[in-house]
Amino acid sequence: MNELIRLTARQAVDGLKNGDFTPAELIDAAEARIAEVEPKVNALPTRCFERARAAAARLERPENPGPGYLYGLPMAIKDLVEVSGVRTTWGSRAFADHISTRSDWSVERLEAKGALIVAKANTPEFGAGAQTFNDVFGTTTNPWNTALTPGGSSGGSAVAVATGEVWLADGSDLGGSLRIPASFAGVVGLRPSPGRVATGPRALPFDTLAVNGPMGRTVGDVALLLDAQSGLDTRDPLTLPPPGESFVAAVDRQMTLGRLPSRFAGGCRIAFSPDLELCPVDPEVVEVCQAAMRRLEKLGTTVDDRAPSFKDAEDCFQVLRAINFAASVWPRIKDKQELVKPEVIWNAQKGLQHSAEEIAIARQQQGALYNRIAAFFERHDFLALPTVVAPPFDHRVRYLEEVNGRKFDTYISWLVLTFAVTLTGTPAISVPVGFTKSGLPVGLQLVARPRGEAELLALSALLEADLALGTHNPVEPR
C-alpha cells in the first residue's frame, strides 16, 4: 500500500500545503489503490481521473484560502450528487446513461476549496434503503467482511474512505445514510444541521430531512471537510453562515484543553439510551456502546438515562419520508416504473396516498418531538445511543427484516435509531467505538443541540483519542 494512502486527510492537506508532494502524486496514489481494492468492494464504480488531473493543473493557491481549503486533495462524491461532465445515475437504470451538465452547489463549493473529484461513490437507487446495491453497478461490500453490507445509502463513500481509496468523501443523510455506513464500515460520518451544507438545486429547497455532509477516517478529517463544505449560499434558502471559529480550530482547541465540552458549570452531561424505547437492539451492539459510555465517564462526563421521549417517531417519519418521495422522486420515475426497484415506487406512491389529516398529524408529531429535544438540551449537552440496531449483515439481503424477534413492517423500519434523530433537526455523528466478537465495527451515535457541530466534533475527537481505534484504517478488504 502506498504510504500516501495511509495519511489522514489533515496530514495529506498539510503535506500538500508544505509542498511535500503534489496533487498529481495523490491522484496517482488514489488511482492505484482504487484499482487494487475495487474488485473486492465495488465502492467507486465511476471514476474521473483525467477530469481531476485537468483540475489539478488549473489549481491556484490563494494567499488567504480560509478554513477548509484542501490544496488539491482527491475525494469522492456520492452518486446522488451531480458533478459536471461526469456520469450520475442515482443508482437507477432510468438514468444509467445520464451525464451531468452542471455540478451540485455542494460540489462547486468543494472544488472552489481545492478539492479534486476523482470518482463517484456507489449508492442504492435514489438513496432508498440502507443497503448499497443497485441494478446499474451492483453491490458494494463491507471491507471488514466482504460477504456483508457496508450499509447505506452512502455505502460507497464509507467503503472508499475505510479502504484508503480516497481520503475524504461526501454523503447525504435522510434516514441515516451518513451515520449507518459509517458505523458498519468503521469510519466517521456526520449528519450536519439542516442548512450547514448548501446543496441544490433541489425539488424541495425548504426540506430539512435530507442533508449533505462529510465522511472521513477520523473526526479531525470530518471537521476539515465540514469546513470546506460549510458557508452561506443564497441559492439555498436554508444555508447558514460559517461559524466564527472553524470546526478544525474548535476541535484542536478542545483537544488542547483536554476536557469534554460543556455549557454547564458542573461539567459535561450526556444521556444514554440503548434503544430510545423504539426497537430492540442487538445485545452485542449495546454492550460495545455501553463500554464507550464508561470511557466517557472516566473522561469526566456525567451519564444518565434521561433521554427525551421519541414516541410517534416512526409513524411521523414514515409519513414525512413518503411525501418527500412523492414530491421529489415520483415526478422523475412515474413514466419509467419498469426501470425502478419496487421499494422506491412503493414509497413514492405511499406519499401520494396520504391524506391531508395524516400529513398534519405527522407535522404536529415532529413539532412535539422538537419541543421535547429542545427541553432536553436545556439540561444536557449531548444524547448518546447506538447508531444501528444490529451489526453488518449479509449483503444479499435487501434489508434487515428482524432483530431480537421484532419483525419490521417496512424496508426502512430498521433505521429507526437514526431517522428518529433526523426528525429533530439536530447534528448527529457516528463514531467507531469498538468491535463485535466477530470483528465487525460498531458505531456510537452522538447528538448535539441544533447547530452544535463544533462541540459535537470536539466530544467525538476526545472519545476517539481515548479509544485509540484510528490505527485500524485503511482496511485491507477480506
How many other CB atoms are there within 10 angstroms of residue 90's CB atom? Answer: 25
* Catalytic (active site) residue 309: no
Task: Compute the distance between CA of residue 359 and CA of residue 364 in angstroms, rounded to an integer.
Answer: 9
Task: Compute the distance between CA of residue 229 and CA of residue 122 in angstroms, rounded to an integer.
Answer: 20
Q: Which neighbouring-strand residues pair with 302?
A: 269
* Catalytic (active site) residue 177: yes
The one catalytic residue in 154, 157, 172, 177 is: 177
Among the listed residues 283, 280, 258, 253, the one whose alpha carbon sits nearest the alpha carbon of residue 268: 258
* Catalytic (active site) residue 120: no
Strand 428-435 with 188-191, pairing = antiparallel
Task: Compute the distance between CA of residue 185 and CA of residue 183 in angstroms, rounded to an integer.
Answer: 6
The one catalytic residue in 78, 113, 120, 341 is: 78
Whole-angstrom distance between the N-terminal and C-terminal Cα of the chain?
15
88, 209, 211 from 104: Cα distances, Å: 11, 18, 13
Task: Compute the distance between CA of residue 127 and CA of residue 280 in angstroms, rounded to an integer.
Answer: 25
Among the listed residues 437, 220, 419, the one whose alpha carbon sits nearest the alpha carbon of residue 321: 419
Say how many CA atoms lie within 13 Å of 452 toward its Cβ: 25
The one catalytic residue in 153, 154, 193, 246 is: 153
Q: Residue length, the chain?
A: 478
Active site residues: 78, 153, 177
